[in-house]
Amino acid sequence: MPVSLPEILLAPDTRPLVIADSLALIKAELADKTGIPGNAVKLAYKTVSSIAPGYVREIVESMLPVVADTLQPYWAEFWASGGSEFGDYLAKRGEEVAESLLVITDAMAAGSARAVVVTAYRTVRGHAPRHIETALPQVGDLVQKYAR
């Protein structure tokens, strides 16, 4: 098996690129959101971004190590299976992967002192599993881009 995801994604030369790609992925996913749940996510993002500029970047930076650790078992299973597309692998386990990632964001929201962030998170939390599952193919592609 290759080097672990945390070692790959958090390498000093790679980490800034992963963060930039993650922010671009978030914006692309937001652009694709429609309907009431999608508009709620867009409004929550806009609210947090306007009240706390730079906050989303800070969160992505602080979450990256935990997300890499959380995805590591899936990466190891994917690698052992000889799969070709990590995004497809994650998507096939969508509910499980989404819930494991939501453990991270739930803990962050519970520990946040920013009331506006907590309120925005609570507003969109109910539909979060579906939004995460939809993004998993792109998340897997982003990871695989650096883990090749």
> How much is the CA Rg of the chain, to the nearest whole Å?
15
Q: Across all residues in the chain, what is the average pLDDT?
A: 93
Say if residues 23 and 128 touch (Cβ distance below 8 Å). no
Whole-structure pTM value:
0.90
User: By residue range, what is the domain housing residue 99?
Assistant: 5-147
Structure tokens at 55: 């906050």
Structure tokens at 72: 């590591």
Look at residues 30, 52, 26, 27 and name the one whose alpha carbon lies nearest to residue 41. 30
Domains held by the chain: number: 1
- Whether residue 1 has pLDDT greater than 60: no
Contacts of 62 (CB under 8 A, 6+ apart): 108
∠ at Cα 29 (47, 108), nearest 5°? 55
Structure tokens at 145: 């881009």
Average pLDDT rounded to a whole number, residues 91-116: 94
Q: How far apart are CA 48 and CA 56, in angstroms?
A: 8
Say if residues 2 and 147 touch (Cβ distance below 8 Å). yes
Average pLDDT rounded to a whole number, residues 31-58: 88
Percentage of residues of the chain with pLDDT beyond 90: 70
